[in-house]
Structures are given as C-alpha cells and as structure tokens.
Amino acid sequence: MLNYSNSQGRYRHKLIIMLAVMWILVYLQRTNIGVLLVDQRFLEEMGLVGQAARQGMLMTVFLLVYSLSNMLSVPISNRLGPRRALLLGVIIGALSMLAGGWVASFAALILVRVILGLAHGIYHPNISLLVKNWTPPQERGTANAVVGVGGCLALIVALPLYTWINWGIGWEYSFFIPGLLGLLALIPLGFSWISDQPSDNPYISTQEAQYIVSQNEDSNTPRDESAVDSPGVRELLKNTSFWLLAVIYTAFLCSWWGLMTWMPQYLVHARNFDISGMAGYISLAYAVAAAGILIGGRLVDRVQLRSVIGIAALCGVTLTTLGIALVPSPLGAVVFMTLAIGINEFVYPTVWAIMQTSLPSHLLVTGSGIVSGVGNLLSAISPFILGWLIQVSGSYTGGLLFLVAMAALGAVCCVLLYHQEASAH
C-alpha cells in the first residue's frame, strides 16, 4: 500500500494504520443517529415522534459545532501538540458518548451532540499534521487515503452494527459501545506509539527517523507557539492557493453529503427501487468510495502537479452527477451514482497532500482547521439546498444540477490551482 523503497524501516506505515483505525473508532461515534431515527422506542422516549425538524437538529447541531471546533480548537492544538490534543479529543468524545446512553430528554441529547462535535473537531487538523510530520512528501497521497478510508469503512460497518445493537440490546448501547470502543484509541496515544515527531518516538529506528526528517525539510523546525497571531497566519489568509483548496474541499464535501443524504430517497421515489435494493446499492457506493480514496491516494503520489488529479476527478463528478439526472434507466442511475461517489473520493487525498506540502508545520494545524471547518460548515447546508430545490421544482433534477454546479466550480478552482503550481515549478 505505502511505498517501501528507500524507507530505512516501516514504523511510519504502522503509525498511519493506527491513525486509520483511530479514525474508524471516532467516525463510528457520529453515525449512530441515522439508525436511532427509525427506532420507535428512542423516538418516544426523546419526544421526537413526528418531530422531523427536531430529529434533523441532532445531525445539524453536530455538524455546525464540529465545523466551528475545527477552527476554534486550533490554539489548544498548537499549545498541546497533536498527540496530547488527540488524547483530549478521545477522552471528551468517549465521555460524551457514554453520557448519551443515560440521557432522558431531547435537550440533554442535544448537549451530548454539542460536546461530541467539539471533541471531533480536534481530530482532523492534528491528524493532518501527524501525516505531514511522519511521511515524506512522495508518500502523503497514499497516507492521507489510508487514514481517510477509515471514514468509509466506518459507514459500511455502522448500519448493520447499530441495527443489531438497537433491536438486540437497546438504543442506549448505540452510545455505550462506540464510547467504549473509542477509548481504545488511548492505547497508541498513551503509550506514545503515536508521537508528535519521529524524533520523539521510542519505537522507531534511528535510520528511519533520520530518513523521514531528511525528506521533510521543515518538520524539525521548532514550533512557534504564537504562530496563530503571527504575520505568517495573516499571509496564509491572503494566499489565493489556500482559499482555492478551501473551495475545492467544500465542493468535494457538498457532493459527498448531498449524494449520501438524498440518494436513498431518490432511488426509492424517483427510480422505484424497493428499500432492500436501495440499501444494497448504498452499501456498494460506500465500498466504491473506499476504493476510490485509496486509488486517488496512489495517483496523487505518482504525479508532480497534484492538482491534475483534482481536475480530472471533479470533471468526472460533474459528468457522472449529470448522468444520474439524465439517464433513463434506473440501473444506469445507480451506475452513475456509484461512479460519482467513487471518483469524488479522489479529491480527499489530493487536497490534504497539497496542503501538507505547501504549508510549514507550524501553520498546518491552523490551515487544516480553517479548510476543514469552512468546508464542513458550507457543505452542511447542501442537503438543505438540495431539499429546497427538489421541493420548489417538484423534481430531483434541480437538486442534482446544484451538485453538478458545485463540482464544476471545484474543477475550475483546480484548474486555477494547477496554473499556480505550474508557475511555481
């Protein structure tokens, strides 16, 4: 999976796999709500029967707080360093999930989702910094893909897992079990199997640590703890390439959330699939997404100008999303939907590999937090926009055309980024 040539050891590959497993455990904590909303006992006890708006708040509140936490937690992350910041996130997230199994009111449940969103917002910027610190530039596409695929695998596991938990032992355990599983992430962090830098790690060979540091020219630069207030951050916020990456990531997330939110209903209502058939195709889409992110990561490591992968991927997403709306065959719509979701995942390792290469270590948590926060905040609105367009137009075509426009905007930004990359070379 990862490049072993001239590696002087393989500990960094084990660390990336540990981060991927951690991401699976974390992602499972946020995915229990979908199954809970079809659990009649849960709905009755929380006073949510027939309350669609309040049901929707359970996800919306999490996404909004999560998006803001990506940005607002940056000073804490810069102060603690990535390992201790992740420890904090793991503990808070696990405790909030354990508390979720004891709640007796909707207001308390909302508070649990707020705390979970705060905890989860810590992860992405710090994982991004660890990927930069621990992998040479030519391996970062694959490393980001291996970590990111954890989210896809968590989604594949979540539906059968939470269905079994809710109907087998009770909805409370859909909080208790992922909360306890999340505490497993304390093991690699607590024993320093995962550390801030290769030089901090007692388990890596000296040869491999020296190899990584030699490949990452700025990784051993001392961190400026006041960097969040420094002119460097102001220059970052004025950087056109940085904001192009933010728009590209937003376009990627809009397609992800938009397709995953509305495609089940689209397949049943517009394409006349039965529910069991729909569920099978959605599971297939998650599996293709996992394959897509891994293939995209490998491709990113094989090209000099990484924005080329973004251009090809987002143009592909534009055409395949358009195909969902235009193809007359229901099975053809499934094929285009699966392709759109899979190709869209190529964008994830592209964005993070470019950012990790272009930003110095002391600004990466800040930059990653802003891009992830802005992208998630804006894309959280996309399912609502799709729903409004479907309602106004009376057809799913209007909503799909919105996703086509967002993917096209992302492709245009990739072209602009390509020209900047090419001029820099």
Q: CA 311 to CA 411: how far, in whole Å?
A: 5
The pLDDT score that the predictor gives to residue 304 is 87
The pLDDT score that the predictor gives to residue 220 is 45
Asked if residue 395 has pLDDT above 50, the reply is: yes
pLDDT tens-place string over residues 184-213:
999 999 999 999 999 999 999 999 999 998
Q: CA 373 to CA 368: how far, in whole Å?
A: 8
Least confident residue range of 56-60, 88-92, 94-98, 316-320: 56-60
Q: Could you tell me if 345 and 149 are in contact, meaning their C-beta atoms sit under 8 angstroms apart?
A: no
Share of the chain above pLDDT 90, in %: 54
* pLDDT band per the 50, 70, 90 thresholds, residue 95: very high
* pLDDT band per the 50, 70, 90 thresholds, residue 424: confident
The pLDDT score that the predictor gives to residue 277 is 65
Other beta carbons within 10 Å of 366: 23
The top-scoring range by mean pLDDT among 308-317, 364-373, 376-385 is 308-317
Ordered domains of the chain (ranges, CATH): 10-220 (1.20.1250.20), 229-425 (1.20.1250.20)
> Which has the higher per-residue pLDDT, 44 or 7?
44
Least confident residue range of 44-58, 71-85, 98-112, 225-239: 225-239
The pLDDT score that the predictor gives to residue 201 is 93
* pLDDT band per the 50, 70, 90 thresholds, residue 224: very low
Q: Could you tell me if 121 and 70 are in contact, meaning their C-beta atoms sit under 8 angstroms apart?
A: yes
The pLDDT score that the predictor gives to residue 330 is 87
User: What does the radius of gyration of the chain's CA atoms come to, in whole angstroms?
Assistant: 21
Q: How far is CA 202 from CA 206, 209, 218, in A?
A: 9, 10, 21
pTM for this predicted structure: 0.86
Q: CA 111 to CA 62: how far, in whole Å?
A: 10
Residue 91 in tokens: 């503990």
pLDDT tens-place string over residues 166-189:
888 999 999 999 999 999 999 999
> Which has the higher per-residue pLDDT, 88 or 37?
88
Mean pLDDT over 31-54 rounds to 83
For residue 56, the number of C-alpha atoms closer than 13 Å in the C-beta half-sphere is 10
Q: CA 268 to CA 274: how far, in whole Å?
A: 6
Mean pLDDT over 246-271 rounds to 84
Q: Could you tell me if 202 and 196 are in contact, meaning their C-beta atoms sit under 8 angstroms apart?
A: no
* pLDDT band per the 50, 70, 90 thresholds, residue 4: very low
Closest CA to 245 of 374, 149, 147, 126: 374
With helix as H, strand as E and coil as C, how does the chain read?
Answer: CCCCCCCCCCHHHHHHHHHHHHHHHHHHHHCCHHHHCCCHHHHHHCCCCCCHHHHHHHHHHHHHHHHHHHHHCHHHHHHHCHHHHHHHHHHHHHHHHHHHCCCCCHHHHHHHHHHHHHHHCCHHHHHHHHHHHHCCHHHHHHHHHHHHHHHHHHHHHHHHHHHHHHHHCCCCHHHHHHHHHHHHHHHHHHCCCCCCCHHHCCCCCHHHHHHHHHHCCCCCCCCCCCHHHCHHHHHHHCCHHHHHHHHHHHHHHHHHHHHHHHHHHHHHHHCCCCHHHHHHHHHHHHHHHHHHHHHHHHHHCCCCCCHHHHHHHHHHHHHHHHHHHHCCCHHHHHHHHHHHHHHHCCHHHHHHHHHHHHCCHHHHHHHHHHHHHHHHHHHCCHHHHHHHHHHHHCCHHHHHHHHHHHHHHHHHHHHHHHHHHHHHC
Asked if residue 381 has pLDDT above 60, the reply is: yes
